[in-house]
Chains A and B, each alone.
Chain A
Amino acid sequence: MAAPEYNVPQPDDRTTVVCLYCNKSQEVGRKAMTITCKFCSKSLRLEDKRVTQYEARRSIEICGVVTVEKKGNVVADVLCNGLVVRGKVKGNVVSRGPVLVGPEAEIKGDVTAPSLAVGAGAILAGKYSIGQPNEK
């Protein structure tokens, strides 16, 4: 009797994501856009986000990279795996990846990140915690 065929994704189609909330890593399909963390059951959005206009929210929580373009103006707490700011951000930022602040960009709020790059004429105001494991 022939063995049953299972449609198991190959390792090439998988990627590892770290949960924003519980810090545990898990393998997911490379094309997945949202998942539920199998450890803490929180919903995770895996795609990157690009902000090109004014956007006010309670929070932006994304397992990808958030990019705030020059005309982007974010008023929200940001929890992400990387942040690129070319416009303005007002709110607290916790990033697991580098935070890049472009020339003439602005961040007003507390920032926690493993590394920070600041461009020419950038405006920063807040409490910064760089290069240390997250306290929160």
Chain B
Amino acid sequence: MAENANDFPTVLGPDATFKGELSFEKGLRLQGRLEGKINTPGRLHVSKEAKMQADVEAGSIIVEGDVKGNLTASDRVELKQSARYEGDLQASKLVVDEGAVFSGHVLVGPDAVKAGATHAGGAQRPAGQPGGGGGAPRPTPTGGPQPVKQG
């Protein structure tokens, strides 16, 4: 999928560090460091050189860099070849490229985000404290699948 500058009107450059809560409408390309929380109906692109420790709720998330925290995407999460991700993930669709490294609890499916919201009380952890080991309640999605692109 070709990307242009209009897809990501907001860019956090490679020498920028952001701490706090961030919300935006369309899209953000993260090239620097971010710590905190992101809330957007749009797209988040974490570039190769970026480091992020945050809880994210977004439309779709593309990860190429280092990410720690919980990701929730109403549409899809893409973990590219260079991605290093640690945390809990909820999305309707998941695309994992070969070479991506991730660990954490995963809830993927057409109804995963809705199901995750109802179970969020026990499953979600603060950013930087992803699910390691067992013990956390595992939400189970229900409902039928829908056709999307193969990862």
The chain A residues found within 8 Å of chain B, CB to CB, are 98, 103-104, 108, 110-111, 115-132
A130-B101, A131-B99 known; A124 vs B106 contact (CB < 8 Å):
yes
Contacts of B110 in A (CB 8 A): 121, 123
Docked CA distance A117–B100 (Å): 11
22 A-B pairs (CB sep. < 8 Å) = A104-B145, A110-B134, A115-B98, A117-B150, A117-B151, A118-B108, A119-B150, A120-B148, A121-B145, A121-B148, A122-B109, A123-B112, A124-B108, A125-B106, A125-B108, A125-B109, A126-B106, A127-B103, A128-B102, A128-B103, A128-B105, A130-B96
A130-B103, A131-B99, A131-B101 known; A125 vs B140 contact (CB < 8 Å):
yes
Main secondary structure of the interface of A (DSSP, over half): strand
Docked CA distance A117–B108 (Å): 13
The chain B residues found within 8 Å of chain A, CB to CB, are 93-96, 98-110, 112, 131, 134, 138-141, 144-151
The 8 closest A-B pairs by CB, nearest first: A121-B145, A131-B101, A123-B109, A120-B148, A104-B145, A124-B108, A129-B103, A128-B106
> Which of B104, B108, B140 contacts A122 (CB under 8 A)?
B108
Docked CA distance A103–B108 (Å): 12
Docked-complex contact A132 and B108, CB < 8 angstroms = no
A108-B140, A118-B96 known; A132 vs B150 contact (CB < 8 Å):
no
Docked CA distance A126–B144 (Å): 18
A121-B148, A128-B103, A132-B103 known; A116 vs B96 contact (CB < 8 Å):
yes
Docked-complex contact A103 and B102, CB < 8 angstroms = no
Contacts of A110 in B (CB 8 A): 134
Closest to A111 in B: B106
Contacts of A126 in B (CB 8 A): 105-106, 138
Docked-complex contact A115 and B96, CB < 8 angstroms = yes
Docked-complex contact A130 and B100, CB < 8 angstroms = yes
Docked CA distance A111–B102 (Å): 11
Contacts of B131 in A (CB 8 A): 127
Closest to A112 in B: B103
> Which of B103, B105, B140, B150 contacts A120 (CB under 8 A)?
B150
Docked-complex contact A130 and B102, CB < 8 angstroms = yes
Docked-complex contact B108 and A123, CB < 8 angstroms = yes
Docked-complex contact B145 and A128, CB < 8 angstroms = no
Docked-complex contact B96 and A117, CB < 8 angstroms = yes
A103-B150, A118-B94, A124-B94 known; A132 vs B107 contact (CB < 8 Å):
no
Closest to A121 in B: B145
CB distance from A95 to the nearest CB of B (A): 14
